[in-house]
């Protein structure tokens, strides 16, 4: 039975409808005096904020130094907070019921985030939809540029919280991109892929997740359903 459940945010729990990428653009515009036209076309799916920022700094010829990163991440949350209510984002179908279901498990698994968002970005997005309080820990995009490293980090944080080592089959990772599936495999965790983001079922199944669903409303996770895990 799962002792740790790790969820991705964008495309899995919520759609922020471009509020995050608009906030990225505004930081470039107002913090760094750049015209971020090309950035509006970039896909953020499955990416970590740290790796996106390295790429953006390179594209806009901004020195990738600590002072610029610090400046970027100080301004970004203000714009994100501003844009979240102004973009037509949504809580994804069944996401909240899916989270609530684990709160009925006895013993309840640790509920964590495994996301490319910086911690404050994750908090702003999930608070906007009333879902931040479901999570007691997480690994975030400000902690590493690689999602595979974030899954190892999330596992070790949860182990500290639980006071025991976890086997891969005691961990469930839920996400909407091939990067989420790879992050799950990196720690030998089980992976539920959900097609509510930019990737189709066929594209996700190419990466061999353990289960694939169109939306989280199709699953009501019970310990019985995951018997043997
Ligand atoms: Mg995602």
pLDDT band (50, 70, 90) for residue 39: confident
For position 97, what pLDDT does the model report?
Answer: 95
CATH code where residue 121 lies: 3.40.50.1000
| 182 and 111 in a common domain | yes
Residue 227's pLDDT is 52
pLDDT for residue 228: 46
Give the count of beta carbons closer than 10 Å to the beta carbon of residue 172.
Answer: 24
> Residue 213, SS3?
strand
Q: pLDDT tens for residues 131-169?
A: 999 999 999 999 999 999 999 999 999 999 999 999 999
Of 55, 86, 117, the one marking the end of a domain is 86
What token pair was written down for 97? 């019921």
The alpha carbon of 20 and the centre of ligand 1 are apart by a number of angstroms equal to 12
At 2, is the pLDDT very low, low, confident or very high (cuts 50, 70, 90)?
Answer: very high
Count of structural domains, the chain: 2
Position 142 in a domain? yes
128/53 same-domain check? no
Interior/surface letters 184-220, b for 16+ CB within 10 angstroms, e for the rest: bbbbebbbbbbbbbebeeeebeebebbebbeebbebe
* C-alpha 142 – ligand 1 centre gap (Å): 16
Distance 227 CA to ligand 1 centre (A): 27
* 122 and 181 belong to one structural domain: yes
Answer yes or no: do 136 and 166 share one domain: yes
Q: Which of 41, 69, 86 is the last residue of a domain?
A: 86
54-106 pLDDT per residue, tens: 999 999 999 999 999 999 999 999 999 999 999 999 999 999 999 999 999 99
pTM for the model stands at 0.94
Q: Decide if 229 is inside a domain.
A: no
Q: In terms of residue numbers, what domain contains 125? A: 4-16+91-218
Q: Spell out which residues have Cβ within 5 A of ligand 1, the ion.
A: 8, 10-11, 176
Determine the pLDDT at residue 69. Answer: 96
pLDDT of amino acid 226: 67
pLDDT higher than 90, residue 23: yes
Tell how far the Cα of 62 is from the centroid of ligand 1, in angstroms.
Answer: 27
What's the gap in Å between 17 CA and the centre of ligand 1?
12
Q: What is the pLDDT of residue 38?
A: 73
Same-domain status, 69 and 98? no
pLDDT, mean over the chain? 93
Query: Ligand 1: distance of its center to the CA of 176 in Å?
Result: 5
**Spacing, Cα 215 to ligand 1 middle (Å):** 13
Going from the Cα of 9 to the center of ligand 1, the distance in angstroms, rounded, reads 6
Same domain for 23 and 11? no
Of 221 and 111, more confident: 111
Q: Positive or negative, the Cα torsion across 29, 57, 140, 40? A: positive
Percentage of residues of the chain with pLDDT beyond 70: 97
**pLDDT tops 50 at residue 229:** no
Distance in Å, CA 10 to ligand 1 centroid = 4
Distance 197 CA to ligand 1 centre (A): 7
- 69 shares its domain with 96: no
97 and 75 in a common domain: no
Q: In terms of domains, do 112 and 178 share one?
A: yes
For residue 183, which of 115, 132, 112 has the smallest C-alpha distance? 115
**C-alpha 8 to ligand 1 mean position (Å):** 6
Q: What spacing in Å lies between the alpha carbon of 226 and ligand 1's midpoint?
A: 23
- Identify whether 228 is part of a domain: no
User: What's the 7 CA to ligand 1 centre distance in angstroms?
Assistant: 9
70 and 48 within one domain: yes
Q: Hey, what are 157's tokens?
A: 């944080």
Are residues 99 and 193 located together in one domain of the fold?
yes
Distance in Å, CA 203 to ligand 1 centroid: 14
Are 125 and 20 in contact by the 8 Å Cβ rule? The answer is yes
């Amino acid at each position: 039975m799962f002792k740790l459940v790790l969820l991705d945010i964008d495309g899995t729990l919520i759609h922020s409808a471009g509020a995050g990428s608009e906030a990225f653009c505004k930081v470039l515009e107002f913090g760094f005096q750049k015209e971020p036209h090309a950035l509006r076309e970039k896909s953020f799916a499955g990416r970590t904020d740290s790796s996106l920022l390295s790429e953006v700094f390179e594209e806009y010829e901004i020195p990738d130094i600590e002072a610029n990163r610090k400046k970027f991440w100080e301004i970004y949350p203000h714009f994100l907070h501003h844009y979240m209510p102004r973009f037509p984002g949504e809580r994804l179908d069944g996401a909240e019921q899916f989270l609530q279901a684990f709160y009925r498990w006895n013993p309840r698994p640790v509920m964590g985030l495994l996301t490319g968002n910086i911690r404050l970005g994750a908090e702003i997005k999930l608070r906007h939809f009333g879902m931040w309080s479901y999570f007691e820990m997480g690994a975030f995009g400000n902690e590493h540029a690689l999602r595979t490293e974030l899954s190892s980090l999330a596992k070790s944080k949860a182990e500290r919280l639980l006071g025991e080592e976890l086997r891969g089959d005691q961990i469930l990772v839920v996400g909407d991109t091939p990067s989420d599936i790879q992050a799950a495999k990196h720690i030998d965790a089980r992976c539920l892929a959900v097609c509510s983001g930019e990737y189709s079922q066929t594209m996700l199944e190419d990466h061999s997740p353990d289960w694939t669903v169109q939306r989280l409303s199709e699953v009501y996770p019970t310990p019985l359903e995951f018997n043997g895990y």
